[in-house]
Amino acid sequence: MNRLEYEEKLKEVYNGAVEPLRKYLNLHSTMKFYCHKCGVAFYGKAGHIIGKDHQRHECGLPYGDRDGYRFYVRFNKNDKSKKNAKIDGVKLVAQLDELLNEGQPYQTIRNKTGVDIHLIDYYANTLFKKAEEKPVNLTFFKATARGRKVYIDEAGKLYMECNNCQEVKDINLFQNTKIGFLGKLPFCKNCANKKQ
Q: What is the pLDDT of residue 74?
A: 43
Q: What is the mean pLDDT of residues 54-65?
A: 67
Q: How do residues 120-175 score in pLDDT, each as one tens digit? A: 887 887 777 665 555 568 888 888 777 788 888 887 888 888 888 878 888 888 88
Torsion of CA 85, 89, 91, 97, to 10 degrees: 110
* CATH domain 139-195 topology: Wheat Germ Agglutinin (Isolectin 2); domain 1 (3.30.60)
Question: Residue 191 — very low, low, confident or very high, per pLDDT cuts 50/70/90?
Answer: confident
Q: For residue 73, which of 84, 59, 89, 62 has the smallest C-alpha distance?
A: 62
Q: What is the pLDDT of residue 131?
A: 53
Q: What is the pLDDT of residue 64?
A: 53
Does residue 102 carry a pLDDT above 70? yes
Q: What is the pLDDT of residue 81?
A: 46
Residue 192 contacts residue 175 (beta carbons within 8 Å)? yes
Q: How do residues 66-86 score in pLDDT, each as one tens digit? A: 555 555 444 445 544 444 444
Q: How do residues 14-41 score in pLDDT, each as one tens digit? A: 988 888 988 888 989 998 888 888 777 8
**Start-to-end CA span in the chain (Å):** 60
| Residue type, position 3, single letter | R
All structural domains of the chain with their residue ranges? 1-83, 87-127, 139-195
